[in-house]
A = this chain, B = another copy of it.
């Protein structure tokens, strides 16, 4: 049902959606016949500001990319024209022409709560294949994880009231708007105003009226009457084009109105006044929808102060994760086959050191709550649920993508199982994550070997 093809700029040419250095390194791997397999893991080093957890998302786009990775003749023509690659031998371009992703992928399911240093996915494949997919995998997972996390915070603040993605116009272009609609739904939004995303993803599409409709009439009352007449089954009237309280009185008098929307001004005071106006007019079932630069902090503050708001439209702040607009996921070599033997690999730059070896994450669950994770070696067995599971083998996916509603439900359940302090939108408590003794020992051994 989900048209993942359309989530990349051009299905046939996505091999070039990468950084040039992946291809210069590929040329060097090829020249030196470095054809053994390697394992790379994708993880986040630190949580963005004020976040206590992440909700993993973007895996489906990653899998689709890996399944369809091909260099078209036109791609190769372009690469041959580049100064850095012009002098490479024909054999290298022949290798690219026949390149497919033939490797394995393990990953945590989309919708899983994850923490720093925990692998979200691991690629094991011939070195060139594993290398050149880095950029796309990061672009897919970083952004959707960022937005699914933001949406989980927004939905948490709304305490069960529906929140909708209204952000397409402020997203980082139409493609970002689409991916944001998807990730927002995973994180707990109830739907989107983005028609294309709603259709492609099979999720609810919402929206009724903008200020332009009201402005296109000489009188607000006439604008409301005429709009309601077109949608007799119930509509939402936007009441803040001129004077919100006057707009509320007009709306209360119109039969068949399901809700009014406030998009500006003091939403706390206005929502209370508007509720009184609606109730006094006997328009009790008419709901109040609020929008206008909302985020989890403002929603929490409105509800704590008793604002009688029934639903929220969240745009800019949701689809850009405005208070933390990037996720610094990285993709690092952790093991490599050299002469038929797997050897550990790690990086040791200041503040950017990594742990060697293929890993697994073990999550302990007790009394309805997650108690802590241990990042262990993939070869050891530790207490708790193992989060990483096989997704692809030999370049083929092992099962169909899950329904997006199931992913949303997984995220809802996973976040609800986090200790409440970890879920705080303010200064969250740190969720306990430790490395296993085995991994620590392997890291020390690798460092000693290099020193």
Q: Give the residue name and chain of the B residue nearest to A212 (CB).
A: B333
In the complex, which range does the number of interface residues on chain A fall in? 35 or more
Could you tell me the distance between the alpha carbons of A138 and B174 in the complex, rounded to whole angstroms?
A: 10
**Per-residue 0/1 for A1-43: is the Cβ within 8 Å of any B Cβ (1 yes, 0 no)?**
0000011111001101111111111011101101000101000
Q: Is the CB of A213 within 8 A of B172?
A: no
Between A8, A210, A232, A328, the greatest number of chain B beta carbons within 10 A of the residue's beta carbon is seen for: A210
Given A131-B212, A176-B176, A16–B196 Cβ distance below 8 Å? Answer: yes
* A326 within 8 A of partner (CB): yes
Q: How far is the CA of A161 from the CA of B272 in the complex (A)?
A: 56
In the bound complex, residues from chain B placing their C-beta under 8 Å from that of A127 are 216
Q: Which residues of B contact A259 (CB under 8 A)?
A: none
**Count of this chain's copies in the oligomeric assembly:** 2
Q: Contacts of A23 on B, CB cut-off 8 Å?
A: 195
* In contact, A20 and B206 (Cβ under 8 angstroms): yes
Stretch at the interface among A302-310, A340-348, A399-407, A412-420: A340-348
Bound: A240/B350 CA distance, A = 9
**Most chain B CB neighbours (cut-off 10 Å) among A38, A136, A326:** A326
A207 and B24 form a contact (CB under 8 A): yes
With A212-B333, A345-B216 as known contacts, state yes or no: A179 contacts B169, CB within 8 Å.
no
Identify the stretch in A77-85, A358-366, A430-438 within 8 Å (CB) of chain B at 4 or more residues.
A77-85
A21 vs chain B, min Cβ distance (A): 4
A92 to chain B: closest residue by CB: B230
Query: A172 touching B169 by the CB < 8 A rule?
Result: no
A112 within 8 A of B: no
Q: Could you say which of B8, B195, B349 contacts A264, with CB atoms under 8 Å apart?
A: B349
- Asked if A135 is at the interface (CB within 8 A of a chain B CB), the reply is yes
Task: Give me the 4 closest cross-chain CB pairs, A-B, nearest first.
Answer: A175-B175, A20-B207, A325-B325, A21-B207
